Amino acid sequence: MGNAAVAPAVPAQFDRSAQHRRSMIAKANIAKGQLGMVDDDYRQLMFDATGQTSLTTCSDAQLARFLDALESKGFRPLPSKRGVAPAAQHPMARKARALWISLHHLGVVHNPGEPALEAFAKRQLKCERLVWAKQSEANKLIEALKGMAERAGWAQSSPTGGKLSPRALQENLCEAILKRLKRLGVAPDWWTLNRAAWSLCGTVVAQEEPVTAEQYQSLAAALGAVLRKTPGFVAGGEA
């Protein structure tokens, strides 16, 4: 047999572009869960930002714009460091995270990120990590966050002390943010929530169908962004 020519080995190539794209898609999926977005609202936001309705059809530039839009709604990606424990996903943590982000929209919480929530939970529960917290102590953390909300004007119960639906809670949050905007002179005292939504955010909330909790949630994020950009506004409270 003759000596066959052997092709030189080709070193494996590391596709950084593909890895970055996978990372952006993963972040978008994490954001959907972190913000508690329903599929319709998630895809509408994607379409508004990119003109696409699927992550797989988005270009890298479009994915970047979509992540910017998700961050404007309150999403804060966790640091991508090896050895960093994942965020807690048990019911107490998810509820606390939703309240924490809402309090950021209200201007009470300066930093809406996971590390800031973890630091607050550690002070309340005396536990190093939220993922390790006892579920039997969940009420202590949730009540502390609700107390911050009440002191900032976000009603957590009905006038008679009854439990509110998710829709009513989000509507109350929007009204509380609007009150702050009125105090800062951004909105006239006579403005309704519908008028503020259109004039400040370009959003229409008055529809033939009842406004959903998710729509109020999106409006709260938009009004919160206006609040934080208002001259003279100082974020703060107890966190």
Q: What pLDDT digit, counting tens, does each position of 134-182 carry?
A: 777 778 999 999 999 999 999 999 989 899 999 999 999 999 999 999 9
Comparing CA positions, the residue from 153, 166, 164 lying closest to residue 98 is 166
Determine contact, residues 161/207, Cβ cutoff 8 Å: no
CA distance 165 to 216: 12
**Residue 22 burial by CB count (10 A; 0-12/13-18/19+): exposed, middle or buried?**
exposed
**Residue 100 tokens, joined:** 């924490």
Instruction: Provide CB contacts within 8 A for 77, sequence distance 6+.
Output: 27, 30, 31, 67, 71
Dihedral sign for Cα 173, 176, 180, 186, please: positive
Percent of the chain residues topping a pLDDT of 70: 85
**Residue 80 burial by CB count (10 A; 0-12/13-18/19+): exposed, middle or buried?**
exposed
pTM: 0.65
Domain regions of the chain by residue span? 20-72, 88-152, 166-231
CA distance 66 to 46: 6
Q: What pLDDT digit, counting tens, does each position of 93-144 carry?
A: 888 999 999 999 999 998 888 889 989 998 998 888 887 777 777 789 999 9
